[in-house]
Structure 1
Amino acid sequence: MPSKAIALHAHLSLEELEQRYRSCKDAKEKTRWQVIWLYAQQTRENRPSTRAVSQATGFSQNWVYKLIRRYNAEGPQGLIDKHRYNPGGDKRALLNQEEQQALRRALQAR
């Protein structure tokens, strides 16, 4: 599959992208910064290639496209690992008080 060039929005300079990549402590987030930084380097040299970035990082070309599109749409916030900020699903009990008591009694009975 030929490598399509995608215009990279200039949310941050090449130097700022490198600084974010090198200083990032979160492994997932760091590799996302690396993808954007590598792609930005190629864009500056007027030869952007998702294939080259894919080969350098071990990500599929589809994932590289996805990260570039996310960065373009959301800026730097699009690369942050949102899993660590997700408090989880709905914390409300699935059973009401009466059902919980019935369950406890059923579990205690042999």
Structure 2
Amino acid sequence: MKKFDKERVLLAVAGPVIALVAAIALTSVVLLASGKSPFEPYSLMLQQATYSDVQVLIINQASLYYLAALAVAIGFRMNLFNIGVDGQYRLAAMMTAVVGTHIA
């Protein structure tokens, strides 16, 4: 069994946290430059996230990207580089709909 590596966990958590802070800072600067309050959109986002239909929409949209990330991870494990996963997924979904309508 592997030993718990505190530094590795810290590095794994630091990346997403830094990205989130940078995104909030950048959008706040853009909102301030346009003369708008940066707090209003963030409070609205937090308020909307409590609605169940919004939560279902978030899960539905996020699941597409989780599948795409899984496809990229499998490709990386095979030493392949593929940056067109999202387009391939959408094309496959469209073709599935076309085939489904012709079969039904």
TM, length-normalised to structure 2? 0.27
**Structure with higher helix content:** 2
TM, length-normalised to structure 1? 0.26
Higher Rg of the two aligned structures: 1
